[in-house]
Amino acid sequence: MGNLDNSLRSSIKDEIDAISEYTKIKAETDTPTKNGILPSFKAETERNLDSELKIENPKLSIQSLKAWFSGKLALKGINLDVKENCVTALIGPSGCGKTTLLRCINRMHDLTPNATADGKIILDDLNIYDKQSDPVLIKRRMGMVFQKPNPFPTMSIYDNVAAGLKLNGIKDKNLIKDIVHDSLKGAALWEEVKNDLDKPGISLSGGQQQRLCIARALAMQPEILLMDEPTSALDPIASSKIEELMNDLKKNLTVIIVTHNMQQAARVSDYTAFMYLGELIEFGPTDQIFKYPKKELTERYISGKFG
Amino acid sequence: MVRLLDLGLTKVSSIIFDMAGLAENTVSKAITSYQDNEVSTKNQIFESSAKLRFLQDEVSELCIELIARFQPVATDLRYIKSCMELSYVFSRFGRYAFDIITVLEILGPLELCDKSSVIRMSKLVLEMMDLGISALRLRDNSILAKIYEMEEMVDMMYRKSTRESSQIVTTNNYSDNRCNISTALILKYLERISDHACYIADSVNYIETGMASPRR
């Protein structure tokens, strides 16, 4: 029995006693361990949480963007890079500037009386706020889908999709037919409407109307699709179809979505930007924003502690 | 206004801290029983162990329900995930306590055995459990480093004891063998408890920082 009795060398025993004693005293915080386990957590934490997100070769780069309504500052110098072929979600409470930012991106903000904007939005190499940039050409490169489905009420399903093409002077009927077909397929609507193309667009259900609007936007072959709360007026089934569609669409274009539904942002987006009172508070990969937000304000908002 | 999710989180926390207290008591009782050759506590320890197992399932169910109903994110989500992990840890503590008393029942009585190595290690392990639970209660990750240090000491003690046991287990003395086998088994259980105490520390770190710890 003596063997086990002496199983602890006195030096080890002393160390154990020292540790046991040491832990009774209130520890001085953050003392690095010898093996470095805890410091390595902290180092990683600091690296991840303090780094600014840089997107290589962004499709769209928003730089120091400010926007005003009747002299009132609505966007306070937004800097945000949007990655190509990804879904970027803009979240934040009502009035934080999400929709204003979206409308600045395709220069719809310009159309609002007494609204002004300053800063740069670089689409590939083009500053869309450059005086020489043509707002019409810019809008052609960016489709937009709104909160409420808004098909042209007097037009058939087919004509709703073809309208933009015709307005842009395309007269080749076969080409138009092909594009309408491709656009309806791209919007996951073809199978549901292929035998009813002559029926009015407004005869469709709400979810179908919204997908018709997406098809209408796709017909212009945009590079970016802007979606302003595209499912807020839809039931859960119709909403999930739009969400699945977004996942397909990003293979060929870049999607920016404004949503009040945080779970939707978490489901569909690759990147999420949280805005508050006209400022971009936090931007990062969606996984990071929803699991480990850097900023207290983001944490509080996405956890439903204010809104 | 209280978030509905907070009501659920409070309930989960309450069960987790009940489990923590019960697990500590159960392990402590098993060690004291071993020390005093008191096998009559076996039923109590079994019941506590079974209760911990039952509570683990309850925490699991509640956490799944909270995720399904409220789709929590950020700290809430990390806390819920950690509670599932912690409930498993506390359930394991109960199981190891039961294993310790079972060793006493099968190999005992062990009053002639030298129990000093077990007593030394158990002192350290109980302290690790206590520190881990305090860190969880206070959400204080400043004391985690001490737990990891103590775990290294436990490992060192365990390796040394195992080496020494293997050298004397060939003796023909029946009493010596019972002592050696019981000591080796109980030291192994204590070593596992110390690992699980580190999992508590890992969970506290994950809740607070979002960073996962390397698996030990």
Q: How confident is the model at residue B215 (pLDDT cuts 50, 70, 90)?
A: low
Question: What percent of chain A is predicted at pLDDT more than 70?
Answer: 83
Residue B61: CB partners within 8 Å, gap ≥ 6? none
Minimum-distance CB partner of B3 among A29, A34, A304: A304
Give every strand in the sheet of A271-276, ordered side by side: A142-145, A224-228, A254-258, A87-91, A271-276, A279-285
**Arithmetic mean of pLDDT, A138-143:** 92
pLDDT of residue B2: 82
Report the distance separating Cα A21 and Cα B161, nearest Å: 23
- Strand, helix or coil for residue A271: strand
pLDDT at residue A248 greater than cutoff 90: yes
Do A4 and B179 make contact, defined as CB atoms within 8 angstroms? yes
Residue for token digits 């780094």? A51
pLDDT at residue A35 greater than cutoff 70: no
pLDDT of residue A1: 34
A213-229 pLDDT tens trace: 999 999 999 999 999 99
Instruction: Output the average pLDDT for chain A.
Output: 85
Q: Which residue of B has its CA nearest to A263?
A: B71
Helix (H) or strand (E) holding A75: strand A72-82
* Chain B hits for A10, Cβ within 8 Å: none
Report the distance separating Cα A32 and Cα B191, nearest Å: 23
pLDDT of residue B23: 98
pLDDT of residue A146: 95
CB within 8 Å of chain A, chain B residues 142-201:
142-146, 148-150, 152-153, 156-157, 160-161, 164-165, 167-168, 176, 179-180, 183
The 3-state secondary structure of A83-119, one letter per residue: CCCCEEEEECCCCCCHHHHHHHHCCCHHHCCCEEEEE
The domains located in chain A, with CATH, are 58-303 (3.40.50.300)
How many Cβ contacts (< 8 angstroms) between chains A and B? Answer: 123
Instruction: Output the average pLDDT for chain B.
Output: 92
CB within 8 Å of chain A, chain B residues 67-86:
71-78
pLDDT at residue B165 greater than cutoff 70: yes
Do A44 and B127 make contact, defined as CB atoms within 8 angstroms? no
pLDDT at residue A21 greater than cutoff 80: no
Under DSSP, the state recorded for A156 is: B
Do B73 and A291 make contact, defined as CB atoms within 8 angstroms? yes
Q: Looking at CA atoms only, how far is residue A69 from chain B in angstroms? A: 34
Query: What number is the ipTM of this complex?
Result: 0.75
Q: Looking at CA atoms only, how far is residue B100 from chain A in angstroms? A: 18
B18-71 pLDDT tens trace: 999 999 999 999 999 999 999 999 999 999 999 999 999 999 999 999 999 999
A280-294, B10-24, B96-110, B169-183: least confident range: B169-183
pLDDT at residue B174 greater than cutoff 70: no
Q: How confident is the model at residue A49 (pLDDT cuts 50, 70, 90)?
A: very low
* Chain B hits for A1, Cβ within 8 Å: 112-114, 176, 179
**Arithmetic mean of pLDDT, A86-104:** 96
* Chain B hits for A45, Cβ within 8 Å: 209-211
